[in-house]
């Protein structure tokens, strides 16, 4: 433990800042640029923001989060006791993000990462009309809906679950393709797909029925086409207390009534 350099990353909320002051005397903290690993204090949104900052680093920096937010699904429970022991016994989980490649109506292009999900959402009162292609094969010529999302296993218990999408076990190498308020075909509930298959979504009549694409917290508006795939060049590492690790949490969510 003494050889590992740790950074303390704290959400700007008052409760997280107060907790951060309690942890500062417990370790010789360094800046995030000099650290090997990090302790993150905040909620799920702040953890996602921090994980995005970890992308494209030369080495994988494991992060150990403690919940000072609302839900805290991606976090461990907060308490300041035995921090060193907890970190030493924590279980690591590797997470690969999605790569969202976006083309807009104007011809602009963007490549953005997403750890939980990519969502396509209608921008106006007009329903979206989408063509869905999986592994270079058109699977739905027209989906009329409020939107659609592609979720990773780590993100399958978030927005995807609220949209009645399936919960995916961690390490399953699957993605959830879930419609949001589908009107036609009305009985289509979505699909579970191998994560090796790229998913492309074309916006039909995009100028009349504008659609935005959101990768976690980053949005691109007036989309013409989005292609989503696993970014196999990026890996994130999260640390969890063994008695309540991420894979257990995802499994337990299937029994919540």
Is residue 33 one of the residues assigned to a domain? yes
Mean pLDDT of 207-227: 96
Say if residue 226 is in the same domain as residue 102. Answer: yes
Which range of residues forms the domain containing residue 80? 6-96+235-253
Is residue 215 one of the residues assigned to a domain? yes
Task: Name the pTM for this structure.
Answer: 0.91
Say if residue 212 is in the same domain as residue 183. Answer: yes
Say if residue 73 is in the same domain as residue 118. Answer: no
Cβ atoms within 10 Å of 25's Cβ, excluding its own:
9
**Chain segment 157-193, per-residue pLDDT in tens:** 999 999 999 999 998 999 999 999 999 998 899 999 9
Q: Is 157 annotated as a binding residue?
A: yes
| Mean per-residue pLDDT over the chain, rounded | 94
Q: Is 253 annotated as a binding residue?
A: no
Tell whether the model's pLDDT for residue 212 goes beyond 90.
yes
- Distance separating alpha carbons of residues 77 and 88, to the nearest angstrom: 16
Is residue 40 one of the residues assigned to a domain? yes
Say if residue 24 is in the same domain as residue 122. Answer: no
Say if residue 225 is in the same domain as residue 136. Answer: yes
- Distance separating alpha carbons of residues 41 and 47, to the nearest angstrom: 8
Is residue 54 one of the residues assigned to a domain? yes
Mean pLDDT of 129-155: 97
Q: Is 64 annotated as a binding residue?
A: no
Say if residue 123 is in the same domain as residue 215. Answer: yes
Tell whether the model's pLDDT for residue 5 goes beyond 70.
yes
Catalytic residue among 28, 36, 44, 247: 44
Quick one: tokens of 179? 């419609």
**Chain segment 28-84, per-residue pLDDT in tens:** 999 998 999 999 999 999 999 999 999 877 788 999 999 999 888 999 999 988 998
Is residue 243 one of the residues assigned to a domain? yes
Cβ atoms within 10 Å of 228's Cβ, excluding its own:
25
Say if residue 165 is in the same domain as residue 197. Answer: yes
Say if residue 74 is in the same domain as residue 134. Answer: no
Whether 96 contacts 232, CB under 8 Å: yes
Three-state SS for 119-184 is EEEECCCCCEEEEEEECCEEEEEEEEECEEEEECCCCCCCHHHHCCCCCCCCCCCEEEEEEECCCE
Say if residue 59 is in the same domain as residue 165. Answer: no
Q: Is 146 annotated as a binding residue?
A: yes
Say if residue 131 is in the same domain as residue 202. Answer: yes
pLDDT of residue 144: 97
Is residue 1 one of the residues assigned to a domain? no
In the chain, how many domains are there?
2
Is residue 127 one of the residues assigned to a domain? yes
Say if residue 131 is in the same domain as residue 41. Answer: no
Active-site residue flag, 44? yes
pLDDT of residue 1: 44
Name, in order, each residue with C-beta under 8 angstroms of 174's C-beta and a sequence gap of 6 or more: 153, 168, 192, 193, 194, 195
- Starting at the edge strand found earlier in the chain, the sheet holding 174-180 runs 191-194, 174-180, 147-151, 117-122, 211-215, 218-220
Say if residue 104 is in the same domain as residue 86. Answer: no
Which stretch of DSSP H or E encloses residue 57?
A: none
């Amino acid at each position: 433990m003494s050889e590992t350099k740790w950074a303390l990353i704290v959400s700007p909320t008052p409760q997280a800042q107060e907790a951060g002051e309690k942890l500062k005397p417990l370790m010789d903290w360094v800046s995030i640029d000099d650290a090997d690993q990090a302790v993150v204090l905040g909620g799920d949104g702040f953890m996602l923001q921090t994980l995005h900052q970890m992308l494209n680093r030369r080495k994988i920096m494991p992060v150990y989060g403690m919940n000072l937010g609302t839900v805290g699904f991606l976090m461990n429970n907060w308490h300041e006791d035995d921090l060193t022991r907890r970190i030493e016994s924590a279980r690591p989980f590797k997470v690969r993000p999605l790569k969202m490649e976006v083309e807009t109506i104007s011809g602009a292009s963007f490549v953005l990462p997403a750890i939980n999900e990519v969502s396509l959402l209608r921008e106006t009162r007009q329903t979206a009309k989408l063509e869905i292609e999986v592994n270079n094969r058109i699977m739905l010529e027209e989906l009329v809906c409020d939107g659609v999302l592609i979720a990773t296993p780590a993100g399958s218990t978030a927005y995807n679950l609220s949209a009645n999408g399936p919960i995916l076990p961690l390490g399953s190498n699957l993605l959830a393709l879930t419609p949001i308020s589908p009107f036609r075909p009305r009985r289509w509930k979505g699909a579970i797909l191998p994560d090796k298959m790229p998913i492309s979504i074309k916006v039909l009549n995009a100028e009349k029925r504008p659609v935005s694409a959101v990768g976690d917290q980053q949005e691109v508006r007036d989309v013409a086409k989005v292609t989503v795939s696993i970014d196999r060049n990026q890996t994130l590492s999260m640390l969890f207390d063994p008695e309540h690790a991420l894979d257990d949490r995802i499994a337990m969510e299937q029994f919540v009534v």
